[in-house]
Chain A
Amino acid sequence: MATIAHGDHGHHEESFLEKYIFSQDHKMIARQFLFTGIFWSIVGAAMSVLFRLQLGWPNETFPFLETLLGKWAEGGRISNEFYYSLVTMHGTILVFFVLTAGLSGTFANLLIPYQIGARDMASPFMNMLSYWFFLLAGLLMLFSLFLQTGAASGGWTMYPPLSGIRDAKVNAGSMWGTDLWFFSMSMFIVSSLLGGLNYIATILNLRTKGMTMWRLPLPVWALLFTAILGVLAFPPLLSAALLLEFDRIFDTSFYLSDIVVGGNLLDYKGGSPILYQHLFWFLGHPEVYIIILPAFGITSEVLSVNSRKPVFGYKAMVYAIGIIVLLGFLVWAHHMYMSGMNPFLGSIFTLFTLLIAVPSAVKVFNWLTTIWKGNLRLTPAMMFALGFVSLFISGGLTGLFLGNSAIDIPLHDTYFVVAHFHIVMGVAAFFAMFAGVYHWFPKMFGRYINDTLGYVHFYTTIISAYAIFIPMHFMLSLPRRYYVFSNYQTFNIFEDVSKFISVFAIISFMAQILFVVNIVYSALKGRKFTSENLNPWGSNTLEWTTPAEHIHGNWPGEIPEVYRWPYDYSTGHGNTDFRPQTEPLQEGEDAH
């Protein structure tokens, strides 16, 4: 690729619309994904604050809620119907719009062309479409919040029959709210497929000269596997959504059978709700790896650069991701141990699920060895990457309880599950995303981000996140998705703990607003990233060889050639403690 002359890229005058709105430039699309993701994370987090108000102070009224929400919070207390819409939307928005599109979309777009040495994606047009379908999906979901019958309220997993019976008597959210949810998800799946195919094609075909697969930086490996997972796992969800819409609109019986509503037997016969769960989790489980793999990649990169040490066991890291991807397709039914499927199946899924702990453990130990005997530069990005390691350990270990089918009998669908997945794929993935934003901020916005606010953001977030989720582990008897629980003498002992959690949820939310303020302020007024110091972190990867200002095609001249792997830090050769990939091997240097 390096031999292709640059031509007239970058000199072509773009209109405002081409440059900022219908952009086909990966750097702009990355920012579009980031800002849309930020918008959605604020919406999703604000929803969690609303339902934490209900959970923390179930007996108090907040008059401003009625002003804000009208009939959904009559008397200043969120109604139970709206509560379930909130938890459903919170889950959907954060899992799909923020941690899938926001995380993958931002960093796949930013890093893939930059780090493999490509001028742009294989299909910039498809890349643009991927963003616009994502935006459309988001708008549809947003509209559903304003429906008379309310947004979908069947939980983010949308299990039928609750989501399958289009009857306001059964569930108001199962009217248009659910239709919009599935239409929106269909758009989202299209977006994700367009993006994923493009990422795979780009990584496989557009690597610069010398950039062999074993010289790819780990974020690119992670994003490649993420894209493969997405492309293989999202279509079953599309089919699940279609079949469910058939059940809802044309009264077919894919998922429904023997249903009695208000004493009347409905006509559905022969379907099984468990089928939907299989189809859903066939995506749903790989989905958590779609979220966490880019986080692995970003963490590995940030830890290595800031430790001034090569990432330990580079190939093991890649193999570990590969094995996780493979096993990730064989464990979906561990979400269904208690669903009524054949218990014998549960035993097989237990085996594969606990096997995943092995490559995950390898990754954790490799990260710890990466910082061992390093010369750690504790930038905010590094702090968040370290935080990620802590969170991934904490959340990963509780997975060993839930993955074991026998222990899952009491724990299934309780706060223990909520605590587990919020730590391991919620907060942890967010931490990697923060690390990525802080680390590549100069590259994205041409200015440095304010470090002090970054540190404040870090400590506030990690303390409040643990203050929220550690107590939740001890609420392991309490079923999740309870609007109130004072009617149970078994559960009303959690009232004070619940208040404590709500307070920290609000603190955590405040810290995130600080982060957004920091991004906006620093992007406009921050210290300038100039051509005097194009490689502020002393990094080996190719993105730091591009000019300070964004140009179409990334490199003004030829694309640089690559001679080595990306993790030659502190090798003892050369004048600096890093050896960029563009530097040819010198005598005495080993290739990795």
Chain B
Amino acid sequence: MLNILLTLAVIILFYTVALFLGGIVERVRALKGEELDYTKNNQTHGKLFLIYGVFFLLMFAFSFKYMDFASLPKAASNWGVEIDELFVITAWITGIIFVVTHIALFYFVWKYRGEKDKKATFFAHSSTLELVWTSIPALAMAVLVVMGLKTWFNVFPNKKTLPANQLTIEATGKQFNWMLRYPGPDGVFGRRVLSKEFVSPDNELGIDWTDPASHDDFFASELYMVKGRPVRFNLGALDVLHSFYLPHFRMKMDCVPGVPTGIGFTPTMTDDETRELLKSNSHWASIDPETNEPRYVKFNYELACAELCGKSHYGMMMPAHVVSQSKFEEWTKTQKPFFEVNKDRIQAWLAARNLSAGASKGSNNYAAFNGGDTSKKALKLDSNMTKVEGATHNIADNKATEGKQ
């Protein structure tokens, strides 16, 4: 209550003072007859603007210190490190331009504040100057473009060669959580069939249980990756757009219904290693009142949704971890395949349709990720690559189901 009253008082005070000041000053000016004389104002505001300018640049500089706690720890992926370097270079270039132009602006306003008998210098055009400040930014931009595209093509290479030991994870966004599917020990995802027959509330992804590869696939409630082992996410969405966002890895890609997308990188920092880094961060080193321990103890990476997907968009949080290969294998063993857990239900479903589990070899009826290119040519080229993972492209509807019957 006190807060509200105080706020109201401040608001009323602001308007009273402003309006009072405005009224008085105008009346005095009218009495003095100096209605359109800005000589005094030029003096006042030339100086005031310079003071504001100094304050502004100081606050800008200090904000880096004040906000230091908020910066993310060192990027935990190979591309993240590269992107951060690019970010820092861009920050230096823009920072210098920012400071120099602002100093010029504040200084000029103070220096050339109007005086009665002073004359402005007539200076309308200079080809040399304009050439200078066309070519310098052009040069700076050329540098930024070249460096930027180098990183960009590293993250999204045109050449599709798969790293040998790549871990592939399928992440599907839906309102309002993530479905993470691991291919299981065989390293191959079970086929999905997007037809009304296969897709049901029990099987939203339309997994085809007649495909033996589907039997060891498991769904994880937390994301696990392996340090030093390339990971690749085949991304999709069930209902609306989502965006697969891993802030600590500086990675993001939209999940689009009907359009397969994906992103890949190599994790470089385990949870423990990042935890170690956070010890020097004022926020993370502070004591969490709930646990009475420093905050970094409970640190883990997080997966977030970065594309507005409905009323609980902000709730799509999933913990993420980077561990060693041995720990990853341990964790994998604790994960139960979906098929195993739901065997009775699935067998009943299959029996009702006169199908048998693991009886068929076929193909997806949807396109898996191919680097984001949806042109026919790219899809065709890409099929060679995805065969490695055990899934081939076939856009035609329901071929898989026909084949089995």
Which residue numbers of B lie inside 8 Å of A, CB to CB? Answer: 11, 14-15, 18-19, 21-22, 25-26, 30, 35-36, 38, 41-42, 45-46, 48-49, 52, 56, 59-60, 63, 67, 69-72, 79-80, 82-83, 86-87, 90-91, 93-94, 97-98, 101-102, 104-105, 108-109, 112-115, 118-126, 129-130, 133-134, 136-138, 141, 144-145, 148-149, 151-153, 155-156, 158, 174-175, 194-196, 199-204, 206, 235, 238-241, 243, 245, 247-248, 250-259, 261, 283, 295, 298-300, 302, 304-315, 317, 366, 371-375, 378
- A462 x B52 contact (CB < 8 A): yes
Name the B residues within 8 Å of A451 (CB-CB). 25-26, 41
| Interchain residue pairs with CB less than 8 A apart (13) | A350-B149, A354-B141, A378-B38, A378-B41, A378-B113, A400-B144, A406-B82, A407-B148, A479-B306, A487-B314, A489-B298, A490-B248, A490-B302
Which A residues touch B312, using CB under 8 A?
A: 80
B130 touches A378 (CB 8 A): no
* A84-B308, A172-B311, A514-B18 as given contacts; A338 in contact with B254, CB under 8 Å: yes
| CB atoms of B70 and A342 under 8 A apart | no
> Do A263 and B202 contact each other (CB < 8 Å), given the known contacts A161-B240, A371-B109, A466-B56?
yes
- B141 and A517 within 8 A (CB): no
Chain A residues, Cβ within 8 Å of B46? 376, 378
A272–B105 CA distance with the chains assembled, in angstroms = 47
- Distance in angstroms between the alpha carbons of A92 and B226 in the assembled complex: 44
Q: With A162-B309, A309-B120, A389-B105 in contact, is A374–B112 under 8 Å at CB?
A: yes
Closest to A590 in B: B124
B126 / chain A contacts, CB cutoff of 8 Å:
312-313
A409 lies within 8 A of B252 (CB): yes
Interfacial chain B residues near A362, Cβ < 8 Å: 130, 133-134, 137
Shortest Cβ distance from B244 into A: residue: A338
Cβ-defined contact, A375 with B251, below 8 A: no
A260/B311 contact (C-beta < 8 A), A368-B108, A407-B90, A474-B71 known: no
* A410, B304: Cβ atoms closer than 8 Å: no
Given A340-B253, A484-B314, check contact A490 B308 (CB 8 Å).
no
Is there an interface contact between A572 and B122, defined as CB atoms closer than 8 Å? yes
CB contact under 8 A between A401 and B204, given known A261-B239, A413-B307: no
Chain A interface residue count, CB cutoff 8 Å, equals: 134
Report whether A263 and B204 are in contact in the complex, using a CB–CB cutoff of 8 Å: yes
User: A264-B199, A342-B374 provided; 10 other pairs, C-beta below 8 A?
Assistant: A263-B202, A342-B375, A343-B372, A346-B156, A372-B112, A373-B112, A376-B42, A376-B109, A397-B94, A489-B298
Q: Which A79-100 residues have a C-beta within 8 angstroms of B? A: 80-81, 84
Given contacts A362-B133, A376-B109, contact A477 B149 (CB under 8 A): no
**What is the bound-complex CA distance between A463 and B91, given in angstroms?**
23
Residues of B within 8 A of A470 (CB): 59-60, 63
Contact check, A450 vs B22: say whether CB atoms are below 8 A apart. yes
Q: A342-B372, A450-B22, A456-B21 are in contact. Are A312 and B247 (CB under 8 A)?
A: no
- A residues in contact with B38, CB < 8 Å: 377-379
Bound complex: CA of A462 vs CA of B366, how far in Å?
A: 52
Stretch with Cβ within 8 A of B (4 or more), from A151-159, A191-199, A210-218: A151-159
Q: Cβ of B258 and Cβ of A375 under 8 Å apart?
A: no
CA gap between A489 and B286 in the complex, in Å: 13
Q: How far is the CB of A570 from chain B (nearest CB, A)?
A: 4
Q: Decide: A407 and B137 in contact? CB cutoff 8 A.
A: no
Given contacts A338-B254, A374-B112, A453-B19, contact A312 B83 (CB under 8 A): no
Q: Complex Cα distance A373/B79, Å? A: 48
Give Cα A361 to B132, complex, Å: 11
How long is the Cα–Cα vector from A335 to B320 in the complex, in angstroms?
Answer: 27
Distance, CA A342 to CA B122, complexed state (A): 52
Please measure, in the bound complex, the distance between the C-alpha atom of A284 and the C-alpha atom of B168, giving whole angstroms.
36
Contacts A263-B204, A386-B105, A406-B86; A375 near B120 (Cβ below 8 A): yes
Query: Digit string of A460-496 for contact with B (CB within 8 Å is 1, else 0)?
Result: 0011001000110011010101111101111101100
B114 touches A377 (CB 8 A): yes
Does A436 sit within 8 A of B, measured CB to CB? Answer: no
